[in-house]
Structure 1
Amino acid sequence: MTSDRVPVVVAARRTPIATKGARLAHVTAEHLAAPVIRACVDDARAATGARADIGDVVLGNCMGPGGNIARLAALAAGIDVAVPGMTVDRQCGSGLSAIITAGEAIRAGDDRLQLAGGVESASTAPTRTFAGIAYFRAPFAPSGFPDPEMGPAAQALALRYDIDRHQQDNYAARSHQLAYDAHRLGRFDEEIVAIGDVRVDDGPRAGIPAMLGRFAPLFAPADGELNGTVTAGNSCRISDGAAAVAMVPAGSRGTTPGLALVAAATVGCDPALPGIGPVAAITRALADAGVTLADVAAFEIVEAFAAQTLAVLHLLGLAPDGVADPRVCAQGGALALGHPWGASGAVSVVRLFSRLVRGNAPAGTLGIATAAVGGGMGVAALFKVVR
């Protein structure tokens, strides 16, 4: 493979992220994704000065109605009917896996523009039934394997790694404060595509940090103690949203700045502790690239729960004494903004693009996007700024 075939993200956009049942509740998944896809195409063509052919549209989605959401969104975005679409389901890692998959097409020799990302409309997700019984989600693991809900799984991590309520609330407060400051300073403005009259995220919320101590525990710890530590305040909100990127081979980007996809890894872990998956994925991606954690300037992890995020950071050595390294989600994360499952991994890449490319980081600066996945997996991608 020549260096010309390295995939480079040259455009990155997302919708505002809205809480389930709130301002985007009436918008179906394909109509959340379509404006973002269209914006990425327009941005990429304006930046490169070329009307590159589009090779594929690859979107992650978890809980939608099926029917290949990527194809629906591509058509709704006005993409030529000759361009195919593929929908990826790796649960909370879906959006990031879609971007990695699109990058693999470029590495394999496809020199066309690739569009990839993720979308979730939790508000319009259908109810599923089997044998007349309705259920919210399919199993993450088969009979005979642990298959915890994500909240209790986060509580189990808090217990195993001694992450107390104070540490979790402090991390959640950090996410809200950083995101609030970023919003106030306009750090999200260039990445957001309005959906109708919805132009800003539902979060962050300035008053949340002061309220965190009032939230009641949601789950009893596995050791039978009376009081858990995972609360609604230090957990993400289920949300609606979409995010996407446009990728081109390095050889056709010209002088357009972007994020080169250097390495990626997807790794399995114990289904009983699914939130720990990013540890092995990050470790493998770094090893494949021949770099270390110290070489990375920016980390974007999908903050499903403060306990889960802190457990990952603890094992990586990025949360000494329970305090997150300043490189991690430096403008807030899903605890403040919300977690649209199939989109969140792609939101992490958009956030890296804003922090590093729009933020004028020098060429060679490294960033990592990562997510934990139900059923026991982690996915991570390492990017490098090119100018």
Structure 2
Amino acid sequence: MREVVIVSAVRTPLGSFNGSLRDIGGTALGGIVIEEAVRRAGVSKEDVDEVIMGMVLPCGYGQNPAKQAAVRAGMPWEVECVTVNKVCGSGLKAVMLAAQAIRAGDADVVVAGGMESMSRAPFYLEKARFGYRMGDGTLQDHMVHDGLWDVVNDFHMGISNELCSEKYNVSREDQDRYAAESYRRALESVNGGRFDEEIVPVSLPGRKGKPVVFCRDECPRETSYELLSEMKAAFKKDGVTTAGNASVISDGAAAVLVMAREKAEALGCRVLGVVGAQASAGIDMKYVLVAPIWAVSKCLKKEGIGITDVDLFEINEAFSGSTVAVLREL
């Protein structure tokens, strides 16, 4: 089986909800990182076989947002494109699919990543096609309904965090302290320039036609455990989930260039990392936020290593409660 490597990685700065990137669509952001991932690897766009991009909120963009992003990036028409929706795991699933295609011999070079503009997610009228004969109509929020709502159990993902926190005995204090430390580290990294190399600046229209260069994450904010502990519960009375210990709503995109090792060597690319084992885990949807417990275990078993053999885990911090639960169980 062919060895799969990553030869470049790039992202846009993260824009806050209705912030600096609110007028830039998700496919435009995707186009920026696709083009930059190829440029940084020092290869030709004609070398790319496929583009796979995750996107959770495609309403209003039109057919196959991944293809649109590839066109914006100046990719040849012959490059195949597919859009993936696995909610929070969409971008990472795109990378997994890229690796699978290369291992199977279906591709040699694939751009994979994710793109999203939560700020531009529209509202829509579900019953407008057949008309409202009388009475009030309701606007459906695409961002909440299609991105943040568990349709099977009919509740917001914040309730899933409440259930996970209860099941794994994660207190409000545990979550607020974890969130405070997470914000502290994020701000320290932003201010210290640790993310600068991985970020591609985004040019924004400014006043009087002069463009503005956006190159710094907007989302991390100065806070403290004391401030976080004063915030009200967001999803249920006496709950443990707040706007402070939940992830922010944001806009941005990221992409990596994935190759077969022999192709990377032939093109003279510098290898950043090797794609090893990969795994997914399906569990009761009420507790989906702690699925990494099982996914990580499966992945380690497939790779033939133990948890102490790994120096660093990167786990999605959708909510502090579920993240603390995952860390404890691992």
TM-score, normalised relative to structure 1: 0.74
2: CA distance, partners of 1:300 / 1:206: 22
2: CA distance, partners of 1:105 / 1:305: 32
1: CA distance, partners of 2:41 / 2:308: 31
| 2:29 alignment counterpart | 32
SS in 1 for 2:89: helix
Aligned match of 1:45 in 42, 45, 48? 42
2: CA distance, partners of 1:135 / 1:261: 40
Letter aligned with residue 168 of structure 2: Y
Aligned match of 1:134 in 111, 132, 139? 139
Aligned match of 1:245 in 256, 260, 266? 256
| 1:84 alignment counterpart | 80
Q: Do structure 1's residue 70 and structure 2's residue 66 form an aligned pair?
A: yes
Q: For 1:134-153, list aligned pairs within 5 A.
A: 134-136=139-141, 137-138=145-146, 145-153=152-160
Asked if the contact 1:54–1:113 (Cα under 8 Å) also holds between the matched residues in 2, the reply is yes
Letter aligned with residue 75 of structure 1: V
* Shift >3 Å, 4+ stretches: 138-142, 207-210
1: CA distance, partners of 2:226 / 2:202: 31
CA RMSD across the alignment: 1.9
How many residues are aligned here?
303
Q: Do structure 1's residue 231 and structure 2's residue 242 form an aligned pair?
A: yes
2: CA distance, partners of 1:104 / 1:265: 12
Letter aligned with residue 160 of structure 1: K
Q: Do structure 1's residue 296 and structure 2's residue 310 form an aligned pair?
A: yes
Unpaired segments of 5 or more residues in structure 2?
129-137, 204-212
Q: For 1:59-208, list aligned pairs within 5 A.
A: 59-65=53-59, 66-132=62-128, 133-136=138-141, 137-138=145-146, 145-196=152-203, 197-208=213-224
2: CA distance, partners of 1:87 / 1:51: 19
| 1:305 alignment counterpart | 319
Quote how far apart the aligned CAs of 1:250 are: 1.3
TM-score, normalised relative to structure 2: 0.87
Quote how far apart the aligned CAs of 1:301 are: 1.0
Aligned match of 1:263 in 277, 284, 287? 277
Asked if the contact 1:10–1:259 (Cα under 8 Å) also holds between the matched residues in 2, the reply is yes
Quote how far apart the aligned CAs of 1:9 are: 0.8
Unpaired segments of 5 or more residues in structure 1?
221-225, 317-387
Q: Deviation string for 1:313-337 (max 9, x for gaps)?
A: 1221xxxxxxxxxxxxxxxxxxxxx
Call closer, same or farther: CA 1:128–1:267 in 2, change over 3 Å: farther
Call closer, same or farther: CA 1:299–1:52 in 2, change over 3 Å: farther
SS in 1 for 2:299: helix
Identity over the aligned pairs, expressed in percent?
A: 35
Letter aligned with residue 218 of structure 2: D
Asked if the contact 1:116–1:245 (Cα under 8 Å) also holds between the matched residues in 2, the reply is yes
Q: Do structure 1's residue 54 and structure 2's residue 48 form an aligned pair?
A: yes
Asked if the contact 1:23–1:198 (Cα under 8 Å) also holds between the matched residues in 2, the reply is yes
